[in-house]
């Protein structure tokens, strides 16, 4: 998949959401980590969604490419499911889709297996660093950049 217009790639997370804004360049023009000071999930989700909407209004992308939640049958996947993180992530993903649609921005889900295969967080960070020479503060920012590079046909 290769696009030439401006877009935002998103790695959603209930503790923080990575956003990367791409235009004609192969490198992101802006990186953000949308997080929240709130402890209660609904308040945290609302704040992240408000920041997401503000980001879309500021950058006016043609598309939003967002990593789609998935369950993995691993120790981390089962632990995450027991804490209901997958449900939270799915709610956040749905809200991002609705916000994008309300702003008339095309929302395109991206499967994890399609953009990074079986790579873990460290392997993904190393690959992003190798491709564009950058390291980011959070894994969500790194993954958002990786998704954008995938969309650009580079990952």
pTM to 2 decimal places:
0.90
SS (H, E, C) 113-151: HHHHCCCCHHHHHHHHHHHHCCCCCCHHHHHHHHHHHHH
Q: Report the candidate in 147, 153, 68 with the shortest Cα–Cα distance to residue 109.
A: 68
What structural domains does the chain harbor? 13-151 (3.30.420.10)
Rounded Cα distance, 69 and 94, in Å: 10
CA pseudo-torsion sign 84, 67, 28, 47: negative
What pLDDT, on the 0 to 100 scale, is given for residue 72? 56
Mean of pLDDT values over 9-22? 94
Per-residue pLDDT tens over the stretch 57-113 = 999 999 999 999 986 555 454 444 556 788 999 999 999 999 999 999 999 999 999
96-107, pLDDT tens digit by residue? Answer: 999 999 999 999
């Amino acid at each position: 998949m290769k696009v030439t217009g401006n877009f935002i790639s998103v790695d959603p997370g209930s503790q923080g959401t990575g956003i990367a804004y791409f235009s004609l360049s192969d490198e992101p023009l802006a990186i953000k980590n949308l997080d929240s000071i709130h402890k209660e999930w609904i308040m945290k989700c609302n704040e992240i969604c408000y920041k997401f909407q503000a980001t879309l209004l500021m950058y006016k992308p043609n598309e939003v490419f967002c990593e789609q939640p998935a369950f993995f049958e691993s120790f981390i996947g089962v632990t995450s499911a027991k804490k209901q993180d997958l449900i939270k992530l799915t709610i956040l993903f749905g809200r991002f889709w609705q916000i994008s649609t309300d702003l008339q921005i095309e929302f395109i889900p991206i499967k994890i297996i399609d953009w990074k295969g079986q790579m873990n967080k460290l392997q993904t960070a190393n690959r992003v660093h190798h491709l564009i020479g950058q390291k980011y503060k959070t894994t969500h920012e790194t993954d958002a950049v990786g998704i954008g590079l995938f969309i650009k046909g580079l990952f």
